[in-house]
Amino acid sequence: MAHFDTSGLADAQAELLAQDIDVVRLGYCDIIGTDRGRDVLVNRFGRTVSSGVAFCRSVYGTTPGGDVVDINGGLSDGLPDILAFPVLETLQRVPWEPGVAHCIADVFNPDGSPSEESPRQVLKRVVTQFAQLGMRPICGPELEFYILEENDRAPNGWARYGESTGNVYVSGLRGDPENVLLSSLRQLGEYGIEVVAANHEFSSGQFEINLWHSEALDAADRAHRFKAAVKELARHRGKLATFMAKPFNDEGGSGFHIHFSMWSDDDRPLFDDPSSADGLSDCAHWAIGGVLAHAPALAALANPTINSYKRFGPDTLAPWLIDWGLDNRSAMVRIPPERGGASRLELRLGDASANPYLATAALLAAAYLGVRDRIEPGAPLVGYGYDPERSPMLPTHLDEALDALETDTQMREVLGDTFVQTFLTYKRDEIRRFRSFITDWEFTEYTYHL
């Protein structure tokens, strides 16, 4: 049986009641990044969660359409349980839900071992390996998303909110005519997830809200909560927020950029070296080298859907090639110009559909391997990228990225082989279902002339 330290439950329950909170939403992240959970009455909270809250393990094999993929230890094994235990330090009042607090859960098997399919446990596993090197990874997530509104004339029933061109980096009613973004920013600011700023992004109806940097697990916790909250706040307005990588043919995709640095146990920035030509340390160069070396496998987790690969291409402001550059936004890995404690790399590979825990874990795993194996990154990109004669190309389809992950034995070892096998099984089922589905493009292309 999984063991849980119950010593803090009584105090947590009393504090919640003192804040007039009567429900705790106990939530955890599934494979695709959806917050799964259960609402627990506070006056029954201690006894309900002390032995774990049971969920069917096949939640990790449940598709967006509600089908159940037969992952290892799931359907064929009789749909056994996993147990969710609250991480009490993550209890947070939900500003837009009176009387409700959210609490992130860690997930375990009934024998007490961590659930290796749990994205949060995957990230914790990678962070632990950095700790063995005396290093602390720091991450700052940047997520873009679209807000949509119902429209009977739109092909899928949803049109872009505030449709207008040229509104990149604007604020106010010009790009946000109903103050949806402004209202969301204010409420998210009271949610304890360290949002700091917001703006209209490049495409119509596309927005970005920035999150402050912190230690990797906390950053991923906040990014996960952020995505769920943005979607929930849009629902309150009768709208739909989507983090789909590329929802429209005529507009750009949504990115999930991660700023990443490493610090020592005694709080020294490990990516900074004023004596080097570019101001970066050997450790920074090795981390970049690892990210480049393992980029095809990394893409499987940073770009986890079939739709993800429609965001890539020349002149898209999304990376297309495996390269790095100094303050160069056309590179896959950009090195921002700040140095000192702000020395960092920015991975621009990921798209907004990525699971924050898994995208972060994949980035850290690749960087860890780079540091461990002292992988040099080669010369940085100079000038505008997208020239395939200068750098190798990233995977162009999800199945290519999955094959790369499957064959990258070093990444599999760092991330955990059980998790990787579950992820591959789940995602290959997604490809199988897509290939048998008749798309609107096929109907439009073929019906009239053929």
State mean pLDDT over 72-86: 86
Give residue 85's pLDDT band: very low, low, confident or very high (50, 70, 90): very high
Cα–Cα distance, 231 to 26 (Å, whole number):
18
State mean pLDDT over 201-215: 94
- Inter-residue contact 233 to 325 (CB < 8 Å): no
Q: Which of 246, 401, 220 is nearest to 322 (CA)?
A: 401
Cα–Cα distance, 265 to 282 (Å, whole number):
18
- Residue 386's pLDDT is 87
- Residue 356's pLDDT is 98
Q: Which of 372, 376, 354 is nearest to 413 (CA)?
A: 372
Q: Cα angle vertex 33, ends 27, 37, to 5°?
A: 20
Cα–Cα distance, 442 to 438 (Å, whole number):
7
- Residue 313's pLDDT is 82
Q: C-alpha distances in angstroms, 70 versus 227, 358, 436?
A: 27, 21, 19
Least confident range of 108-112, 297-301, 312-316: 312-316
Dihedral angle computed from the Cα positions of residues 411, 417, 418 and 420, in that order, rounded to the nearest 10 degrees:
40
Q: What is the pTM of this model?
A: 0.96
Long-range contacts of 335-343 (CB under 8 A, 24+ apart): 335/278, 335/280, 335/288, 335/380, 336/259, 339/272, 339/274, 339/279, 340/269, 340/272, 341/269, 341/272, 342/261, 343/261, 343/269, 343/271, 343/272, 343/279, 343/280, 343/281, 343/284
Give, for 135, the enclosing helix (H) or strand (E): strand 135-150
Give residue 143's pLDDT band: very low, low, confident or very high (50, 70, 90): very high
- Residue 156's pLDDT is 87
Least confident range of 30-34, 59-63, 417-421, 432-436: 59-63
Show the tokens assigned to 309: 């690969």
Q: C-alpha distances in angstroms, 93 versus 188, 317, 345?
A: 11, 37, 33
Give the rounded percent of residues in the chain with a pLDDT score beyond 90.
84
Q: Which of 299, 297, 290 is nearest to 408 (CA)?
A: 297
Give residue 201's pLDDT band: very low, low, confident or very high (50, 70, 90): very high
Partnered with residue 102 across adjacent β-strands are 25, 92
Give residue 141's pLDDT band: very low, low, confident or very high (50, 70, 90): very high
- Mean per-residue pLDDT of the chain: 94
- Residue 2's pLDDT is 53
Give residue 170's pLDDT band: very low, low, confident or very high (50, 70, 90): confident
Cα–Cα distance, 315 to 160 (Å, whole number):
23
Give residue 3's pLDDT band: very low, low, confident or very high (50, 70, 90): low
Say yes or no to pLDDT of 66 above 90. Answer: no
DSSP summary character for residue 114:
B
pLDDT tens digits, one per residue of 328-385: 999 999 999 999 999 999 999 999 999 999 999 999 999 999 999 999 999 999 998 8
Residue with tokens 């080669």: 378
Say yes or no to pLDDT of 317 above 70. Answer: yes
Say yes or no to pLDDT of 128 above 80. Answer: yes
Cα–Cα distance, 124 to 239 (Å, whole number):
34
- Residue 288's pLDDT is 98
pLDDT tens digits, one per residue of 277-288: 999 999 999 999
Give the rounded percent of residues in the chain with a pLDDT score beyond 70.
99
State mean pLDDT over 220-231: 98
Give residue 248's pLDDT band: very low, low, confident or very high (50, 70, 90): very high
Cα–Cα distance, 283 to 18 (Å, whole number):
48
How far from chain centre, in Å, is Cα 262? 19
Long-range contacts of 195-203 (CB under 8 A, 24+ apart): 195/226, 198/171, 199/169, 199/170, 199/171, 200/167, 200/168, 200/169, 200/170, 200/171, 200/175, 200/176, 201/144, 201/168, 201/254, 202/168, 202/252, 202/317, 203/146, 203/160, 203/248, 203/251, 203/252
Q: C-alpha distances in angstroms, 348 versus 15, 87, 94?
A: 41, 30, 31
Q: Do strands 256-264 and 195-200 pair parallel, antiparallel, or not at all (unpaired)?
A: unpaired
Say yes or no to pLDDT of 59 above 70. Answer: yes
Cα–Cα distance, 243 to 148 (Å, whole number):
11
3-state secondary structure of 232: helix
